[in-house]
Structures are given as structure tokens and as C-alpha cells.
Chain A
Amino acid sequence: MSETELPRLKPYHPMTFQERGVAVPFTTPLLGGTRARPTDKQRVELVIPNPAGGRGVYIMPWAGIAAWCQPTLHDSVFNDRIASLKNVTPAAIRRVALQLSAEGLAGEEAMEAACQAVNLEKGDRLVTNYQLLMTLVEQVGGRFAAQSTTNGSGKPDLMTQARLTVEWISPRLGRTASWTATALEALSDVLTNIGVGPSGATGRLPRLLAMLRNLRTAMAEWSATRQNDDQVEYVSMACTVADLTLSLAQATLAQAQALTGDMVRLLRNWGTDPGSISQLATRPEWLLDGWEQICLIWNHARDDAGRRAALVEIIGLIPILPKEASEWSEIKCDMDRAIRFRRLVSLNEDWRTGSIVFELIARNEHLRAIACRPA
């Protein structure tokens, strides 16, 4: 597509996370940082960062992409699957990404990692389900005179305790025991990523939060050794947005993790308004959306030259926090200050259009594999 055929660059000041769109881990280098969001007509449109690194974004449907660059097979299939999604959320996009990797569309390394990740996630959901059950036992087990719940060896019979607890609490919630068991399973789907119980720090989102914290520290340390004003400013911008995101994500993660502090209330609310519980639990994921790729790009850089190149790439990908984020916590969210340094960054022609495009696709596929692996 020639420059005259391109849609006009549009300003990008999303009010809500839906409007910001969800980061899609496309492997085509030119599509780095692209976000997908639903339109009023129940379709999906893509928000593509200005490839020149300056302000503004291109907004276009997938049909427009085909004229703009040659997307990889992985990305074309990704788009087909996004088009059939009912809700475009970070979790849904991650599921599709995992599915495509498991099918082998992002290469052998990503396929192996994704197949392991699918099994691990099943295991994580089971563990979360167990932890929710045990938390419930711990919180309400003392409120009723339980029968002797020890097994033959004298140790507590946890499964019997759990069954009795569910049987005791269900009528008090106005539900059947079967409803309570199903609700706990559904809640484990919602809460697995945030990490509950004693393993709270090992959920996917706490891990991502730690990854972002490490990135922020590493970038700041690297910046302290720089003399180039532009690089220092870019890092400063990235750190400002990272700090804001970290504060908000920590606050919303704590809110979500606190849900299990009162299991009876959680179950009662789940019965009447499951949407609001899901919303609360998914806020950290919306806030952190887009940062994983940034962390992976930075961590992939092996030396100073690699880090300078990573910085150039990262600057165009930094997720802008929409105004809605301010409503999720008491933390002030001043994006205008954070993004004031966003400016044109020059890139070597080879980087996007030349012979190293194949290397970049391979790198992006390698990053897909890393994203599938637990930290």
C-alpha cells in the first residue's frame, strides 16, 4: 500500500480499556503493537501504532492489513479466530494465541511450549479450585459441629471436610450443594490468573507484575549509564507509564485477591452478579495487557546495541492507560505527562522491510514460545 492509500493517522486517546483494544501477539514485524477492538457493528477492527514511531495510530479492518503488509500465516489465522470471538478480552486473545501456538502455527518451539502450557493451566485451575474449597473450609468449617473428619491414619480427611462444608453452606446461600460446587469451579476459572491462597504470588498476573517491575528496574539502571538524551527520555517515559501501571495493577490485584477473604460473600455475590466479580478479577489483566511483549523484547536483547534497538521498538508499543483506569483505584492517572516525550524515532530500512524481516518473525515466534512458558 502506498502512503497515499493509507488511512489517515488518527489521534489515540482511549477513554476505556475496550476502546484501547487488546494487544494481539502478531508475528508480522510491521504489526507489532497492534490491538484489536470490537466495533459498533459487532466486527473487529485493528489499532496499529504509527510504524514511523511518531504520534497517532492507523485504524483499519483486517482487509486493509492485507494491502498494508504481507501478514504471516499465523496472523491471518489469528485474525480469523478473533473475528469469531464474542468478547475481545486479554484472556480470550491469550487463549487464541495459545491455541495457534499449540497447533504449530508459530513454529516448533512455541508448539512444544504451548502444549505444556495447556496442561499446566488445567493443573492451575484444579489447584485454584482446591484452594478456594480449602479457604471455604477454613472460613466456615468452625461454624458447624462437623463429624469426625479424620482418615484412617488419624490425619484430617480434607475431602470429607470440604463436602460437609459445601453441604452446610449451600442452603444458607439459598443454593444446592451442586450449585456451590459448580460456582467454585467457575470462580477458579476467573481467579486462576490472579493467584489465590498461599500460592498467590505464583499466579500468571503476579508473575507478569514481577516481570514488569524487573523491566522497570533494568531499564532505569541501563538508562543511568546512557549519555544520549533521547534514550534517557524514552526510558523515562517508559518508566513513568510502567510505574503508573504497576501501582494500578498492584491495587487492583490486591482487590481481586481480597475477594477470597470472605468466601461466603463471594459465593453469594457470584450467585447474584457474576459479571461484577469477573470484571473485578480481570482488571489487572486489562491493565497489564501489552506489557508482556515489551518485557520479552527487552529481555531478548543480549547487549547494549540490542537494548538500544529494543528501546526503539518498545517506545511504539507502550500501552496508553485510558481514563477508565482512574476509576479503578484512587491513584491519579496522568497520561499526558507520561507520553509527552513520544516522538519520531528513525529505524534502519532493513529492520522492517529488508532481509532481517525473517529474523524478526523467527524472534517473534521465539517470544511466543517464552510467553507460553511459566516464569
Chain B
Amino acid sequence: MQTRSADPAGRAAHALRHQLRQADDQKIIRITAMLDDVADPAGKQAILDPLRDRLGSLKPVRPLRFARLLFTPFEPVIVPPSAWRPGDVAIPRSVLTPLSAVVRTGFGAEASAIDAIIASHKTDATDVVTVAGLALWPRAAELLAVSPTPGDWETTGLRSTVYPPLAGAVVTVPRRAAWLRCLARDQAIGALAADQRTIENILRSMADEPPEGCAMVVALILLQAPHAVPVLRECVASVRNAAEKAILLRALARGMEQVLTRLEAPSGVMDEIARAPLAAAGQEVRRIAAFLGEMDNDSGAAAHRPRLKAMRERLDQACRERFAEGLAEGLVQPLATASDALDAAGQTLLETCARDLRSLETVARKVGGSGSYDQLLHQAADTVLVAAKSGTLTPIRTFRLVEILAGSDVATSMYRDTVAKS
């Protein structure tokens, strides 16, 4: 039987956690922002820990702190402590604080230089993350590589024998973090093909690292920059040393397995798509679709085809559900319930939502075909027209929403008709 805390503060925290579990996304983002200004790390952690899954999907912008910067390159492979086992291609969240303390102590007074770079910046300051990260990651790797088990290791709930192999694997990532970040940012802006030199830099001396570390690097590439997979394969294939090549091929296979398992997990990535903000959902689907596409084209992944097919179907289903929900919540409902004419801010929100929906839909069609998207978009455009008739939208605002939802040819035709009539 669960005993309720007699401590009033504990009871309040328990009640707050319960309420937070029921809260909508916007509320969670607001509360997270408020908690970021609170000095008590233990209390903050107690409130936020049950929400980690949702925070992972929502990806709220957070203040850039030393520990957060240090573990930025690991983000996709950080897992709850309960989901981690020794030898996994991941790191448990509970080790972040002690590992960060090791690095901070090792930096000594120089840590303040990093603090100065990141001061008052948030996690969306990509350039600051890169600049400060370059000053932090390589040296952090070397500090962790030689550090004995931290004194506060017991707070992780892990045995002390876990530390040496885990730290050995962990350092593989920050040693290559600058290059990994390069690939991930390229994928995020969708602009460039992967640079062969970047991949070569990542692979350099990687065979000397522990297998878990190598596989973690591969998993990070697959999760964050799947567009780099063909170049990665080419680079591995061109390695002349047979032993080194075998290690890298094993890392590729293990990293691939890790990502596939992650995608197959019942409450894994597919659920994240369902919970993620629309803009993030589109990007996530784009990454997963790119990964599945690369696996499809990979002759070495033939054995995985049945798994890929099942994942594609789940991804397709997740996209349809997220699209339908986003359309209803972000567009149809606000328009249907608006009592006054929409202002500029309201219109901007609707346009952003419509664009995010189209971005999601464009990539989702490549995953599972057109299906119900046309019909839903048609319905949304009809809702816009009804709102226009009721005076909620001005003609130009109507045309712009119709343009995003139904296409510019439809909007142009409506615009010209209106101009001709006037």
C-alpha cells in the first residue's frame, strides 16, 4: 500500500505532480519555464522527472547551462534510469549530474569562461551552443576518460563497477561532438548533403573506442542526420584495415539495431510524434522517414525489411492521427469558435499551424500515401471560407489560409475573382 507523505510540502509536491500529468502542452511549457528560474534543483527535478517523456517530445526552449550544454550531443540517446541496462547503446539520465560535476571540477576556474559564453542564452541559440560546445566537449571527453568513479556515484542508483565502462563509452561522443553537431544541423536545415570530410573526422580512431561508444555515435548519426548514412557507408567501406573495418561494420549494425528497437518500442518515437508540437512533429517524421528510406536502400539491411514495413505502417498511422488532431485543434476549432474578427496575432498563429500541417502532410504522404489528407485539407479550407463569410477573416487573410491549405492556384483564382468583382 502506498503511504501518503505526512510532510505538507511533500503532499503539495505530490498534488502538483498529479496536476502536471493532466496539464496540456502549453501549460507544461509555461511551468517548465517558471521552474527554470527556481534555484532548488532537487525540488525542480522531483516535479519535472515524471514529465521527462513529455518534455522530450515538446522540446521546450530551456536556459543553457553547463550540464545541459555538455550533454546536448547525447540528447537522443539519454534514457530514463529504469530503461537502461549496462552495455546499452544509451546513457541513463541519472548519471548526467555526477558526470557533469566531474567535468566542471576538471575545468576548474576555466568553467567560468564557458558560463560566460552561455550566460543568458537558451537552448535554441544554436550558434552559442556550437561555440561553447567546441570549448567544452573535447576537453570534457579527456577529463571523463581519466576520472575515477565520482564520489556521488551512489546517487545514480548504479553500482560503482558500471562507471568505468560507461564513462569509456560516453567519451566517444564528445570527442566527435563538433562533427556530429555539424551533421545534425545540416539535417535540421535540410539544405546540404553530408560532407565526406565530416564523416571521416567522426570515424577517425573510432575503432579504438569501446563498442558501446562506437554504436552510440552511429545511433546518433542515424537519429539526427540520416541523410549522412550513404556517405557513412561509403567511408566505412573504403577503410583499408580489415580489423578496423570489421569494428566499424559491427558498430553500424549495432547502432542500426538500437535505432530500430527504439522506433519499435511501444511508447517510443511514434508516441513522441503524437505528443510533439506540430512543427517538431514534421521534423521528426522527416528524420524517421529519411532513416527508413536509407534502410530500404541499404543492401546490408535486407533482413530488416519486414520490421521496416511494420514501422512505416505505424509511422503512417501516427502521422494521420497527429495531422487530424493538429488540424482540429489548431485550425478548425479556433475558426469555428471565434466570435470576433481575427487580429494579426491570431492570423499568424493560424498560418503557422497551417504551414506546420502542410509540412507534416508533405512528408507523411511519402511514408504512407495520400489517404485522407486531401479530404481533411479540403474540409479545413471549407472552414476557412465559412469563417470568412461570418466576418472572422478579411479577404486577404482568407486567401492566404486557402493558399496554404488548398494551394496557391485556388487562392490566386479566388483573389482574381474578388478583384474582378470589385
Which A residues have a C-beta under 8 Å from some C-beta of B? Answer: 70-73, 76-77, 103-105, 107-109, 111-112, 227-228, 302-306, 308-309, 312-313, 346-348, 350-351, 354-359, 361-362
Q: Which of B26-34, B183-191, B206-214, B246-254 contacts A (4 or more CB under 8 A)?
A: B183-191
Residue in A72, A103, A312 whose beta carbon sits within 8 Å of that of B396 in the complex: A103
Residue in A105, A108, A306, A357 whose beta carbon sits within 8 Å of that of B189 in the complex: A306
Distance in Å: Cβ of A361 to nearest Cβ of chain B:
8
In this complex, what residue of A is CB-closest to B285? A355
* CB of B94 within 8 Å of the partner chain: no
- Across the A-B interface, give the 6 residue pairs with the lowest CB-CB distance, nearest first: A309-B191, A305-B185, A303-B127, A104-B396, A355-B362, A303-B126
The answer to whether A77 and B192 touch across the interface, beta carbons within 8 angstroms, is: no
The answer to whether B130 and A304 touch across the interface, beta carbons within 8 angstroms, is: yes
Q: Mind listing 27 A-B residue pairs with CB under 8 Å?
A: A70-B409, A72-B403, A73-B408, A73-B415, A76-B408, A77-B412, A104-B397, A108-B348, A302-B126, A303-B185, A305-B182, A305-B192, A306-B126, A306-B189, A308-B186, A309-B192, A312-B192, A346-B193, A347-B193, A348-B227, A354-B362, A354-B363, A356-B190, A356-B359, A358-B355, A358-B356, A362-B352
The answer to whether B190 and A350 touch across the interface, beta carbons within 8 angstroms, is: yes
CA of A153 to CA of B189, assembled, Å: 64
Across the interface, which residues of B come within 8 angstroms of A70, CB to CB? 407-409
* CB of B275 within 8 Å of the partner chain: no
Across the interface, which residues of A come within 8 angstroms of B397, CB to CB? 104
In this complex, what residue of A is CB-closest to B410? A73
* CB of B358 within 8 Å of the partner chain: yes
The answer to whether B192 and A355 touch across the interface, beta carbons within 8 angstroms, is: no
CA of A253 to CA of B127, assembled, Å: 36
Distance in Å: Cβ of A301 to nearest Cβ of chain B:
9
Residue in A72, A303, A308 whose beta carbon sits within 8 Å of that of B130 in the complex: A303
Q: Secondary structure of the B side of the interface?
A: helix
The answer to whether A359 and B355 touch across the interface, beta carbons within 8 angstroms, is: yes
The answer to whether B412 and A73 touch across the interface, beta carbons within 8 angstroms, is: yes
Residue in A73, A302, A309 whose beta carbon sits within 8 Å of that of B399 in the complex: A73
* CB of B6 within 8 Å of the partner chain: no
Known: A108-B344, A309-B189, A348-B191. A73 touches B359 (CB 8 A): no
* CB of B229 within 8 Å of the partner chain: no
Distance in Å: Cβ of A27 to nearest Cβ of chain B:
10
CA of A228 to CA of B408, assembled, Å: 39
Known: A104-B400, A362-B355. A76 touches B412 (CB 8 A): yes
The answer to whether B186 and A355 touch across the interface, beta carbons within 8 angstroms, is: no
Residue in A228, A351, A361 whose beta carbon sits within 8 Å of that of B197 in the complex: A228
CA of A312 to CA of B188, assembled, Å: 16
Across the interface, which residues of A come within 8 angstroms of B190, CB to CB? 348, 350-351, 354, 356
* CB of B195 within 8 Å of the partner chain: yes
Interface centre among A71, A109, A304 (most CB of B within 10 A): A304
Known: A70-B407, A354-B362, A359-B355. A305 touches B286 (CB 8 A): no
In this complex, what residue of A is CB-closest to B411? A73
The answer to whether A304 and B396 touch across the interface, beta carbons within 8 angstroms, is: no
Given pairs A107-B400, A305-B186, 8 additional interface contacts (CB within 8 A): A71-B408, A73-B399, A77-B415, A107-B351, A308-B192, A309-B192, A346-B192, A355-B362
Across the interface, which residues of B come within 8 angstroms of A359, CB to CB? 355, 359
CA of A358 to CA of B399, assembled, Å: 16
Distance in Å: Cβ of A252 to nearest Cβ of chain B:
35
B373-416 interface with A by 8 A CB criterion: 394, 396-397, 399-400, 403-404, 407-409, 411-412, 415
CA of A303 to CA of B348, assembled, Å: 26
Distance in Å: Cβ of A34 to nearest Cβ of chain B:
16
Residue in B191, B286, B348, B408 whose beta carbon sits within 8 Å of that of A107 in the complex: B348
* CB of B100 within 8 Å of the partner chain: no
The answer to whether B227 and A355 touch across the interface, beta carbons within 8 angstroms, is: no
Interface string of B171-189 (1 = CB under 8 A from A): 0000000000010011011
The answer to whether B191 and A347 touch across the interface, beta carbons within 8 angstroms, is: yes
B106-132 interface with A by 8 A CB criterion: 126-127, 130
* CB of B347 within 8 Å of the partner chain: yes
CA of A302 to CA of B126, assembled, Å: 7
Distance in Å: Cβ of A32 to nearest Cβ of chain B:
13
CA of A142 to CA of B193, assembled, Å: 69
Residue in B191, B345, B362, B400 whose beta carbon sits within 8 Å of that of A73 in the complex: B400
* CB of B170 within 8 Å of the partner chain: no
Across the interface, which residues of A come within 8 angstroms of B362, CB to CB? 354-355, 357-358
Across the interface, which residues of B come within 8 angstroms of A304, CB to CB? 127, 130, 182, 185
* CB of B255 within 8 Å of the partner chain: no
B184-242 interface with A by 8 A CB criterion: 185-186, 188-193, 195, 197, 227
CA of A196 to CA of B404, assembled, Å: 44
CA of A306 to CA of B282, assembled, Å: 19
Known: A303-B130, A305-B185. A347 touches B412 (CB 8 A): no
Across the interface, which residues of A come within 8 angstroms of B348, CB to CB? 107-109
CA of A362 to CA of B356, assembled, Å: 11
In this complex, what residue of A is CB-closest to B356? A358
The answer to whether A302 and B408 touch across the interface, beta carbons within 8 angstroms, is: no
The answer to whether A302 and B191 touch across the interface, beta carbons within 8 angstroms, is: no
The answer to whether B347 and A108 touch across the interface, beta carbons within 8 angstroms, is: yes
